[in-house]
Amino acid sequence: MSNSTKLVLDFDNTENAFSVLSNSELKQSAWLFGMMKNATLVNLGSRATMLALKFRLPITWAIKRTIYEQFCGGSTLKECVPDIDKMAKYGVTTMLDYGTEGKQTESDFNKTMRFTNDSILFAEQNETVQVVVVKLTGLMEFRLLEKLQNGERLNPREQKFYETGLKRIDSICRLASEKGVQIYIDAEESWIQDPVDNIALDMMRQYNKEKAIVFNTYQMYRHDRLAFLKKCVSMAKAEQFIMAAKVVRGAYIDKERARAKNKGYPSPIQPNKATTDKDYNEAMLFCVENYEFISVCAATHNAESSLLLANKMEEEGIPRNHPHFTFCQLYGMSDNLTFNLSKAGFTASKYLVYGPVKDVLPYLVRRAQENSSVTGEVGRELGMIKKEIKRRGI
């Protein structure tokens, strides 16, 4: 099947990119990204914010009116509805993530499961919410995953907690399968990723027989992930399930390199950005070549990679809205990709984090620090916003 209209993708079209934002929202974004250009200010502010919340100082309102408003949908699912509906008017779908991670208690893990299941039920009732995201460290103890990766045996008590965690994950995936909602399992640090991969693959074997329900996340800044992605597709072909992958560049680069250096083992991270980009783009081409066996979400803020995938789909005559292809960017960032892809007829989505400020703060700190880093995208974001402000004459 060929696409009926010639592909025109202009990621510099700010009118499409920011059509969802009012003049006041656009100016607020410009102010925030302008502040985030200062890495020193971001790092100091991040530490001060974490301390203030730790000592229960009344700063939640300030966070909520600034960085939280930019990158999160709200404290509850209900608060997310206006943003979800606003994006849906422009053909952009939503991926929901209850932004909790690194929890420690069974009570917290059960709470995360309940919120995740609530998100699935919410998505079932809202056709523009197609995906719910879950982080396994929000459902079971980090140290159990670390022991398993190290080949250590769990004691009877630990084994019981691990099996309880597996039951939580299975119940989430089962509910998602019943309701026709996709579950994206987030990537974790490399020193617990192997058991996360094994769990994700087990869930795929069980729930991806007829269509893609459970997705695993592949971080291409690791030099072994492209080979692993290809291995998983071969596995899926042999075992007759649909392989499902969210492909990202990665989020823990500094942490990974520092730990490898401190502990004296070879870094799992690519030697430079160019090799990461090369593997990411090769992964996109590989997914197109094997699209009958793999459902892929291209989760990237990189215009070149997005254009590469779109053009390759076009060359192969794959419908732009084919269910095995989704483009995704974080809410509050890269609107020039999301809204222009959607306007061209591709399935484009926003990754929308929600939850109380104290729960999503680690996520917000990462967003701020990544954007203010040398490889961050705050300059590009700010430039696009200023361009649209000038176009609107405001």
- Distance between CA atoms of 225 and 208, rounded to whole angstroms? 21
**What is the DSSP secondary-structure string of 343-390?**
HTT--EEEEEEES-HHHHHHHHHHHHHHHHSTT--HHHHHHHHHHHHH
- Distance between CA atoms of 341 and 338, rounded to whole angstroms? 5
Give Cα 337 distance to the centre of its chain: 15
Residues 6 or more apart whose CB falls under 8 angstroms from that of 181 comprise 120, 123, 124, 129, 130, 131, 132, 213
How many residues in total does the chain contain?
394
The model's pTM is: 0.91
Give the mean model confidence (pLDDT) for residues 126-149: 96
CB 336 within 8 Å of CB 13: yes
CATH of domain 77-363: 3.20.20.220
Report pLDDT for 220.
97
Domain ranges of the chain: 77-363
Q: Quick check: helix, strand or coil at residue 116?
A: helix
- Residue with tokens 């250590």, as numbered in its chain: 152
Report pLDDT for 25.
94
- Distance between CA atoms of 290 and 312, rounded to whole angstroms? 12
Instruction: Identify residue 185 by its one-letter amino acid code.
Output: I
Q: What digits encode the pLDDT tens for the residues 61-72?
A: 667 777 889 999
**Is the model's pLDDT at 376 over the cut of 60?**
no
- Distance between CA atoms of 320 and 310, rounded to whole angstroms? 8
Q: What digits encode the pLDDT tens for the residues 263-299?
A: 999 999 999 999 999 999 999 999 999 999 999 999 9
**DSSP strand E in the chain: where?**
93-98, 129-134, 182-185, 214-219, 243-248, 294-299, 325-330, 348-354
Beta-carbon-side half-sphere exposure of residue 275 (alpha carbons within 13 Å): 11
Q: What digits encode the pLDDT tens for the residues 25-62?
A: 999 999 888 877 766 545 555 555 655 556 465 557 66
Give the mean model confidence (pLDDT) for residues 293-315: 97
Q: What digits encode the pLDDT tens for the residues 227-249?
A: 999 999 999 999 999 999 999 99
Give the mean model confidence (pLDDT) for residues 377-387: 87
How high does pLDDT run on average in the chain? 90
In the chain, the percentage of residues whose pLDDT exceeds 70 is: 89
